[in-house]
Amino acid sequence: DVHRAWWKEASAYHIYPASFKDSNADGVGDIPGIVSKLDYIKKLGVEIVWVCPCYKSPKVDMGYDISDYTDIDPQYGTMDDIKQLIEGLHSRGMKLIMDMVPNHSSDQHEWFKSAKASKDSPYRDYYIWRKPKVGKHGEKLPPNNWQSLFSGSVWEYDEKSDEYYFHLFATEQPDLNWENPKVRQEIYDIMRFWLTRGVDGFRMDSVNFLSKDLSFQDAPITEPSSKYQHASAYYCMGPRIHEFLMEIGKILKEYNAFSVGEMAYLYDPTEIIKIVSSERNELNMVFQFELIDIDRSFSHRYTPKKWTPREFKDISNKWQVFMQENDGWNALFLENHDWGRSVSRFLSDRPDLRKVGAKMLATFIGFQSGTLFVYQGQELGLANMPKSWPLEKYKDVETINYYKQLLDDGASQAVLDSAMSEIKKKARDHARLPFPWDASQFAGFSMVQPWMDVNPDYKDCNAAMQVDDPSSVFNYWRSILELRRKYKDVLVYGKFELVDPLNMEVCAYRRVCGSGTALVVTSFSDSFVLWKIPPETFRPGKVILSNYPDIKGLQIELGLRPYEAFVYIYN
Ligand code: TEU
């Protein structure tokens, strides 16, 4: 039997502070803005709120470049505002999860400024420095060929000391040296700082990158046209990762805090189970990206990849079955601040199909076993920015660097066109447009022109409209969260089993607990499909949720309409 825990029964709402709600008319969302919308979040029915970084930051990477871990950025508010947020959440029975970024700081952090100023600085060893490699003609070269996640080399040359420093992300995000016990103590103190102030836990950013292979050997050439190569095999899950995670887990345990670790490039459940298994006490759960990486190559997010609904359910099934057989736990999500919107990426955001599509994806993910995360706007079925918008509308460092790199490398027009079409699908910018609160100017997000343009569809798709409309995507998500609470034994703790696993278009599964069984049926087809129900699933019961209004219930042969989805509970 599955061990029970409050965080297994809870669902989470994920907020991107710059784009949620602006309270002071500067065009950027802020903490008082979040506080003003707590009743909206409560109405959706979540117990956890995760807020992306709002610490002091020059915001080269929108706050994931932190210059002071124990203060709030003035653009987002004050320490007192965070206190209000914590109190506002706690008084409504919800918890606050902050984003902890232990892998790197900003280059404007006092530690890095000092480290860079002198080789003798006590902070020098807080970061990773290496001597240049010397080329054939005596030229200085980066110590190896690893590619940064934000394009270019992971190494940045520092003239003054004639050494390179290491950065997995932007050059302004130097990686912290986790081999140095002082660095670890600093991060643990920062965690304690927030936990003693009432924060209930953390989403741990890029946490599988903390331990690296220190030989820094070259990565094999997988992309011959590129100067630098994908190297996650060397910086993911290095030799000391479980030791570090166990130390982190100890702090979390002291405070009985919640944790979810972000782990890109890691599809191996036997590694993840070491982190989330209940004896180990490292982290509660992990965001692994195997499912939402389905339309990219392993080495690059903008490499197009074809996928099928069959693979979509096979990947889900892999993690569902593995975790239930090994007493682990999943984190369930289809969106976050780093990806395009799920309706636009995985289905069609054609106006006539967008609403059923958004509800179908919600059904597919929403009844699996795991803690469910809803990213702001996903509950409204938001789509990507319009395809007609030019590159100038994109603000993210990753998108901009990527395109610039292609131009610098002299990419052909065909390559640029394909890159642009991938950007229109997957860029992180899509998820970062201002939240559409209502049909007023600037979508009720701000009194002034926001830092990113509002999606022009906000008049037909906004929170005010959807909250009052029983058939809205918002109220559909609300039902999902309500049903997970109501049928907790089955929908939270029940066993997961695929139904008709070989079907190419219908993704159906069962959740079973004792005599209680739910059947979840979703069609990934944008046209009509006929589904022959496996005989053992054809039993009396009732539909408890559906994305078409006139659903009749089970029939031996079921005609499923485009993106049709329903949930059936057996008597
Ligand atoms: O992302 C880490 C990460 O590895 C990727 O999933 C990331 O989306 C990147 O774009 C891959 O191409 C986390 C944060 O979620 C992201 O917003 C930050 O930019 C990043 O860490 C650095 O802190």
In this prediction, residue 410 carries a pLDDT of 93
Catalytic position from the list 30, 81, 262, 282? 262
What residues are paired with 49 via a beta bridge? 13, 96
User: Is the pLDDT assigned to residue 550 strictly greater than 90?
Assistant: no
| Predicted interface score ipTM higher than 0.85 | yes
450: which 2 tokens? Answer: 């926001």
Q: What is the mean pLDDT of the chain?
A: 97
Q: Report the length, in residues, of the chain.
A: 571
Candidate of 15, 62, 64, 292 to mutate for ligand 1, largest count of ligand atoms within 8 Å of Cβ: 64
Q: What residue segments make up the domains of the chain, in order of their start?
A: 6-107+176-477, 110-166, 494-570
Q: Which contiguous run of DSSP H or E holds residue 477?
A: helix 473-486
The whole-angstrom separation of Cα 473 and Cα 377 is 10
- Tell me the DSSP string of 436-452: --SSSGGGGT-SS--SS
- CA-nearest of 344, 263, 317 to 498 is 317
**Ligand 1 atom with minimal separation from the 169 CA:** 22
In this prediction, residue 239 carries a pLDDT of 97
Q: In sequence order, which residues have a C-beta less than 8 Å from that of residue 229 and are 6 or more positions away?
A: 145, 146, 147, 218, 219, 220, 221, 222, 223
User: Is the pLDDT assigned to residue 278 strictly greater than 80?
Assistant: no
User: Is the pLDDT assigned to residue 38 strictly greater than 80?
Assistant: yes
Give the Å distances, CA to CA, from 120 to 75, 160, 367, 380: 35, 12, 55, 54
**Ligand 1 atom with minimal separation from the 336 CA:** 15
169 Cβ closer than 6 Å to some ligand 1 atom: yes
Architecture of domain 110-166: Alpha-Beta Complex (3.90)
As a CATH number, domain 6-107+176-477 is 3.20.20.80
Assign residue 469 a region: left if phi > 0, alpha if psi is -120 to 50, beta otherwise?
beta
- With vertex at residue 526, the alpha carbon angle to CA 521 and CA 531, rounded to the nearest 5 degrees, is 40
In this prediction, residue 67 carries a pLDDT of 98
**Ligand 1 atom with minimal separation from the 61 CA:** 19
338 Cβ closer than 6 Å to some ligand 1 atom: yes
379 Cβ closer than 6 Å to some ligand 1 atom: no
In this prediction, residue 277 carries a pLDDT of 87
Q: Which residue has the tokens 């709002």?
A: 54
Which residue lies with its CA nearest to atom 18 of ligand 1? 64
**Ligand 1 atom with minimal separation from the 339 CA:** 8
In this prediction, residue 1 carries a pLDDT of 74
Candidate of 109, 172, 338 to mutate for ligand 1, largest count of ligand atoms within 8 Å of Cβ: 338
In this prediction, residue 281 carries a pLDDT of 80
Does the 494-570 domain belong in CATH 3.40.50.720?
no
User: Is the pLDDT assigned to residue 349 strictly greater than 90?
Assistant: no
Which residue lies with its CA nearest to atom 14 of ligand 1? 205
The whole-angstrom separation of Cα 463 and Cα 533 is 37
Q: In sequence order, which residues have a C-beta less than 8 Å from that of residue 454 and are 6 or more positions away?
A: 433, 434, 436, 442, 443, 445
Give pLDDT tens digits for 315-342: 999 999 999 999 999 999 999 999 999 9
95-100 vs 201-204, strand pairing mode: parallel
- CA-nearest of 483, 570, 495 to 317 is 495
**Quick one: pLDDT band at residue 407, thresholds 50, 70, 90?**
very high
Give pLDDT tens digits for 350-393: 889 999 999 999 999 999 999 999 999 999 999 999 999 999 99
Give pLDDT tens digits for 241-259: 999 999 999 999 999 999 9
In this prediction, residue 110 carries a pLDDT of 98
Q: Which residue has the tokens 């860029």?
A: 427
11 Cβ closer than 6 Å to some ligand 1 atom: no
Active site residue 262: yes
In this prediction, residue 499 carries a pLDDT of 98
Q: How far is the CA of 396 from the centre of ligand 1 (A)?
A: 11
Question: How far is Cα of residue 428 from the mean position of the Cα atoms in its chain?
Answer: 10
99: which 2 tokens? Answer: 């984003």
**DSSP 8-state code for residue 363:** H
Say how many Å lie between the first and final Cα of the chain, rounded.
23
In this prediction, residue 551 carries a pLDDT of 84
264 Cβ closer than 6 Å to some ligand 1 atom: yes
Catalytic position from the list 107, 205, 429, 564? 205
Give the Å distances, CA to CA, from 270 to 8, 273, 290: 20, 5, 14
64 Cβ closer than 6 Å to some ligand 1 atom: yes
Q: How far is the CA of 568 from the centre of ligand 1 (A)?
A: 37
Q: In sequence order, which residues have a C-beta less than 8 Å from that of residue 555 and are 6 or more positions away?
A: 533
- CA-nearest of 3, 13, 108, 6 to 435 is 13
The whole-angstrom separation of Cα 6 and Cα 359 is 26
The whole-angstrom separation of Cα 430 and Cα 425 is 8
